[in-house]
Structure 1
């Protein structure tokens, strides 16, 4: 029997203004969601292929749970097989912008997803897969979609296809868009205009601004230098952060060098990724209504039954991935000639379209490495975990995509390194500025979703969300 779980709205965190807190609470009271864990084989309108073991929707749309065979030469773990979510649809993640009194406001949506650990989170104006907005589920139309499908009528600040988590999704991409309008916009129930500053400050609240909003914010163009960028001369760290965003002082490497580095890593790494059936995934088993790793590592594939009010569809079932343990996405930063530089890595993930993307200094689930060979332990993990309070610029726990991932949470951490920048010399790592990351994010498949989230958080910390 499914175990029902009613998602409750948490007590408002302190950075929330009373108005925003009350709005979220009221929305949660009117729009409840009940999520029941149910066996995969009992999911309504989903089927398991008896020959392949793959799990798919009877419509042939949404996504399929299938398998992947991965070879990465020279890696501590050179070969593995795993379940993967294959979702060919390219969705739209869009934020609508309008200026009130010259101040940019962004239209966000209070939304409950079946995988959210805490109920209501702040979503973009539009968050929809192609299957959603073409109404395969026979539900209601997606509000505000026309602004993004007919964006040529408006001011487009960002429009780029970006990847999602390459560990769990096979070549999944979404169109990340920011569109500014000048005419009147009706504000529907569950939507609210927030200033760029308000939304930036809310990125410091645990489990509030969802992954889809963070990735779109990360894709915004970086502001240039100006009088408003002047930082407190007594706060060198903030000044270095602002300089990293605005590009008012030179970076350690120019952008052409960074592009050549990334191209060289992509050319050097020998990676073979081959789709296989779920029944061919060795080391994983389908038992007790779920698919799990034989040693209890990584994640489970589980089923959920969902009942919801205020959604396009009132009831549905689906498979969902449930990661094991709290993840860590951390950036080491260093001031170089008065400019904050962040240490990024060129990271292989099996689900990436181009195999390698720019990732945080450390991206892992630390508990997993207690049970893996010492050689597999990520570089710089121990330095990040040993950071003292005065080294930490930013520290928050954010949820990942709640529509496909169940209680997936990561600690997003920014740590000022005490190791001189010149000492850290590794072919897979480079020091870059936030402005340079912004330039890379104007293009597809260069910067992963974890870095996009961290860039959004640092921009919010500096007051440069828009």
Structure 2
């Protein structure tokens, strides 16, 4: 049966009305996020909850030689370290040839060709949005429990390759339970440690009366922000997901500006120029990478049951045997990566034209799917950088790591994800500076521009999202 043109027109949503509704929803969500960010109930009870949960949920991790890992072996044909199931992940060699004048190098890398889920479930409690956090024990955590998202699971985990219990609350992130999506975007893992690894970063809200199971706790965003200042407590996956939240209303009035043109009036660089700058850098920094046998990596050796760099620096691949209580699986073995020294993730911030700007660099890493992504102002291991000639050290390293106390806005050491990294940590530092010059590969961007980029994949690397979550914790997207 045909439909009249008038009836057809009535069924088609008008573009301006859709844009209006999107803007309205964005402002509504910004107000709700600002409200939960301002709400900081007393955290004294959480300390007892962590203690009580730590007696029921924990891991005991023992380092063992790589050739004594149950279920894992060095495959003589491929030269990789693999699991007998063919699932989980493999440790492979990677040969890297940068474009331009950079020299070739080789390194181990984690290959896990699957998309995991990192997701927070949100619901209103007494009119305030709360986030369901999991108190999770990982084998690489140096302090036992850390605060993780509601769901933190690889595909191997949630499809049952490990043979363990079903992942709690997973139904909200697979569309099997009623929910409203707040954020949903695939984001990269560390491009120097993973080969093109992605995780689905999600925040979904339900109106259903969901109870917190044992090992889970409802927290406001204000509480999570406060806990970010506690050393090694809020894990990296939580920080990654929180960085994908719609930006809270900072009281500046910028929340009412919904078009890129309006927002660009407050930015040092228009967003279209920023996108062009990133694209140009990706074209310039294209890398040729190919996997290789681990025993063919020129500057790496198997020694005393681990895979290490000949200099003793950088990182090493070790084996661990894990006994776990309160997790889906009770015992297992696996390889892990361990860094040799403390890293530094530092952001320089400054108010330019009345808006908070962050100095970001575009950084190429061999495991990234699109050559390069935005990284913090400084992303390095200072001990390794100290061995370099002055002209090869990262720009702004000395300025930020030696900043006077009255310029430091955030300074806490936080852990990398404890499922693949053993006792690996980075000092997260936010420093208010003057308007520093922009060397090649650096740009001052507003928080609004960074929010816009987190709506899409492959723009902010894991370290940038981790540092951004710390910055945004300070005061609804501004500085205290």
Whether contact under 8 Å (1:93, 1:212) holds in the other structure is yes
- Corresponding position of 2:97: 71
Give, in angstroms, the shift of residue 249 of structure 1: 7.0
Give, in angstroms, the shift of residue 278 of structure 1: 1.2
- Please state if 1:102 is matched with 2:156: no
CA distance in 2, matches of 1:286, 1:61: 24
- Corresponding position of 1:417: 433
CA distance in 2, matches of 1:229, 1:461: 18
Stretch of structure 1 that moved more, 386-395 or 368-377: 368-377
- Corresponding position of 1:345: 361
Stretch of structure 1 that moved more, 146-155 or 124-133: 146-155
Provide, for residues 117-153 of structure 1, a one-character-per-residue CA deviation record: whole Å limited to 9, x for no partner. 1111001000000000001011000000000001783
Give, in angstroms, the shift of residue 53 of structure 1: 2.8
Q: Please, what TM-score do these two structures have when normalized by structure 1?
A: 0.89
- Please state if 1:26 is matched with 2:38: no
Structure 1 residues 275 and 248, CA gap change in structure 2 (3 angstroms): closer
Structure 1 residues 16 and 224, CA gap change in structure 2 (3 angstroms): closer
Q: Please, what TM-score do these two structures have when normalized by structure 2?
A: 0.86
- Please state if 1:163 is matched with 2:188: yes
Structure 1 residues 82 and 16, CA gap change in structure 2 (3 angstroms): farther
Match of 1:434 among 416, 424, 447: 447
Whether contact under 8 Å (1:16, 1:202) holds in the other structure is no
Aligned with 1:23: secondary structure? Answer: helix
Match of 1:323 among 315, 318, 339: 339
- Please state if 1:279 is matched with 2:291: no
- Structure 1 residue runs of 4+, over 4 Å off? 224-230, 246-249
Instruction: Tell me which structure has the larger Cα radius of gyration.
Output: 2
CA distance in 2, matches of 1:341, 1:225: 14
Whether contact under 8 Å (2:454, 2:460) holds in the other structure is yes
Provide, for residues 436-466 of structure 1, a one-character-per-residue CA deviation record: whole Å limited to 9, x for no partner. 111001000110111111221122111459x
Provide, for residues 380-426 of structure 1, a one-character-per-residue CA deviation record: whole Å limited to 9, x for no partner. 111112211111111111100100000010001011223xxx66132
- Corresponding position of 1:61: 87
CA distance in 2, matches of 1:305, 1:220: 36
Provide, for residues 77-129 of structure 1, a one-character-per-residue CA deviation record: whole Å limited to 9, x for no partner. 52210000001111000000001122110000001100001111001000000
Aligned with 2:55: secondary structure? Answer: helix
CA distance in 1, matches of 2:42, 2:377: 30
Residues 51-450 of structure 1 mapped to structure 2, 5 A cutoff: 51-74=77-100, 78-150=103-175, 153-224=178-249, 250-418=266-434, 424-450=437-463
Whether contact under 8 Å (2:447, 2:477) holds in the other structure is no
Give, in angstroms, the shift of residue 371 of structure 1: 2.9
Stretch of structure 1 that moved more, 130-139 or 336-345: 336-345
Q: Which ranges in structure 1 are unaligned for 5 or more consecutive residues? A: 1-14, 231-245
Aligned with 1:212: secondary structure? Answer: helix
Whether contact under 8 Å (2:111, 2:194) holds in the other structure is yes
Aligned with 1:183: secondary structure? Answer: coil
Whether contact under 8 Å (2:96, 2:366) holds in the other structure is yes
Give, in angstroms, the shift of residue 374 of structure 1: 3.9
Q: Which ranges in structure 2 are unaligned for 5 or more consecutive residues? A: 1-40, 256-261
The RMSD of aligned alpha carbons is: 2.1
Whether contact under 8 Å (2:236, 2:466) holds in the other structure is yes
Give, in angstroms, the shift of residue 226 of structure 1: 5.2
- Please state if 1:49 is matched with 2:65: no
Whether contact under 8 Å (1:225, 1:248) holds in the other structure is no
- Corresponding position of 1:37: 63
Structure 1 residues 152 and 344, CA gap change in structure 2 (3 angstroms): farther
- Corresponding position of 2:7: none
Aligned with 2:140: secondary structure? Answer: coil
Aligned with 1:412: secondary structure? Answer: strand
Count of paired positions = 432
Stretch of structure 1 that moved more, 261-270 or 444-453: 261-270
CA distance in 2, matches of 1:283, 1:453: 31
Aligned with 1:263: secondary structure? Answer: helix
Structure 1 residues 151 and 358, CA gap change in structure 2 (3 angstroms): farther
